[in-house]
Copies of this chain bind each other. A is one copy, B any other.
Amino acid sequence: MTLHTAEVVAIGDELIHGAMLDTNSRWLASELESAGLSLQRITVVGDDLAQLSDAILQACRRASVVVSTGGLGPTLDDRTREAGAQIAGGPCWFDEVSWLRIQDYLRGRKRPVPESNRRQAEFPTGAVVLANPVGTAPGFLLSAHRAHWFALPGVPREMQRMVQDHVLPWVRTLPSLQPSVQQLLRVIGPSEAMLGERIAAFMHGGRNPAVGVTVGNGMITIRITGTAKTVALAQQACEATAKELRPLLATWLLYEGAEELHALVVQRLIARQVTLALAESCTGGLLAGRFTEVAGVSEVFLGGFVCYANAAKVRDLAVEPALLAMHGAVSEPVAAAMATGAAQRTGARLAIAITGVAGPGGGTPDKPVGTVSFGLSLDGVVQTWTLRMPDLGRSFIRERSVLEALAAILRSVQA
């Protein structure tokens, strides 16, 4: 059993009013759990002082470690410092050292030093200042009830650096912390219900390792979370569960691990020296954009063509106009020609082509919205296939097509 519980409080009107997605909490959740804390709750509140103070106080009553993000900026709508003063029961104090650091930081970047930044050097009574080496907002550590509250800035890069610098080293000193470990099995094919039935025996509450299921754009992730006295023992427990699950999943299992699929595919392409070209119609650059997230892809990525228009398919990929006229742009013959064209034009060993009806318009009885044809050319051998998805919206169809292409490439280069 883990003895130390954690909560995250994400602060900011922009999070509560729907203008911005809270991505910090997800990152924090992973980090805190990996460090052995048991994350119990994430609370998102606006900049309203009463709401903010209450959310932090409640979290401090429930958990032993509370990490908040946001509300430490220079503008007047940032009120985490005031909430800290309320909780500490005294006024804020001004820290000359922090103020000098803030000025140094801005001057070092040849930026002006607005007076408003002075607010960022104010701290609640009893707070320990946490330096921010990559921004102007220092954080603080305050004890409230029996919890330790780390107040960090909301800018992801600054928050992440301060977790590494301040929060994790402190967490590691906690006694009797039981590390927990996650193992991920990535599945493509069945519905969530079909999969859930197949692995139901593993999903009851209180099991250690726990088994849970997540769905996103057609990919299902099975999470195995084990807690034990050491990381090695927790890993062993997870692997024992994975061993039981794998035969149940059979060919549904695409790959394992926390690595994102596109990063894994790039690794494999580099390891096997398979060069790559892309021909995208309905995904319109999404797949190329995913690949180029990975810095190392330049080693193998010879070129991408966004051939949304038929004229572009003819011009850039040498697809015969007669082929387009006979079969339509969304067809396996055209997908094959696109893949072949991309491979020949770039000299890539592997080329993949995607052409489909992403909607909302463009569907026909024959090829309704959600019909997507794929062509994969590897060393001159071309394979084509078609996916018929329910019309769950343009974004789903495009994302699911990107996933399909990545899965097909992975299978091609691991065989």
Q: List residues of A whose CB falls within 8 A of some B CB.
A: 12-23, 25-31, 33, 39-49, 51, 55, 58, 73-77, 79, 109, 111-112, 114-117, 136, 155, 157, 182, 184, 191-194, 196-197, 200, 203-205, 210-216, 221, 223, 225, 278, 280, 282-293, 295, 297-298, 301-309, 311-312, 315-316, 345-346, 358-361, 390, 392-396, 398
Q: Which of B17, B295, B306, B307 is in CB contact (< 8 Å) with A223?
A: B17
Chain B residues with Cβ under 8 A from A394's Cβ?
A: 293, 295
> 24 A-B Cβ contacts within 8 A?
A14-B213, A17-B212, A18-B31, A21-B23, A39-B46, A40-B48, A73-B192, A73-B193, A75-B193, A76-B200, A76-B203, A77-B203, A157-B396, A282-B292, A284-B288, A286-B292, A288-B306, A293-B394, A293-B398, A295-B359, A298-B309, A301-B306, A302-B311, A302-B312
Best-buried of A55, A77, A358 by chain B (most CB within 10 Å): A77
Chain B residues with Cβ under 8 A from A196's Cβ?
A: 73-76, 114, 116
Considering the complex of A and B, which 8 residue pairs feature the smallest CB-CB distances, nearest first? Answer: A284-B292, A285-B288, A304-B306, A18-B30, A75-B196, A18-B29, A14-B214, A285-B285
| Known interface pairs A41-B45, A284-B289, A292-B306; A26-B30 also in contact (CB < 8 Å) | no
Whether the pair B345, A315 counts as a contact (CB closer than 8 A) is yes
Q: Which of B14, B42, B316, B390 is in CB contact (< 8 Å) with A109?
A: B390
Whether the pair A112, B194 counts as a contact (CB closer than 8 A) is yes
CB distance from A265 to the nearest CB of B (A): 15
Whether the pair B182, A17 counts as a contact (CB closer than 8 A) is yes
Chain B residues with Cβ under 8 A from A361's Cβ?
A: 295
Whether the pair B16, A42 counts as a contact (CB closer than 8 A) is yes
CA distance A398 to B55 in the complex (A): 36
| Known interface pairs A117-B193, A212-B77; A40-B47 also in contact (CB < 8 Å) | no
| Known interface pairs A42-B44, A193-B114, A223-B19; A316-B303 also in contact (CB < 8 Å) | yes
Best-buried of A28, A115, A223 by chain B (most CB within 10 Å): A223
CA distance A187 to B205 in the complex (A): 48
CA distance A225 to B191 in the complex (A): 41
CB distance from A201 to the nearest CB of B (A): 9
Closest B residue to A51 by beta carbon equals B40
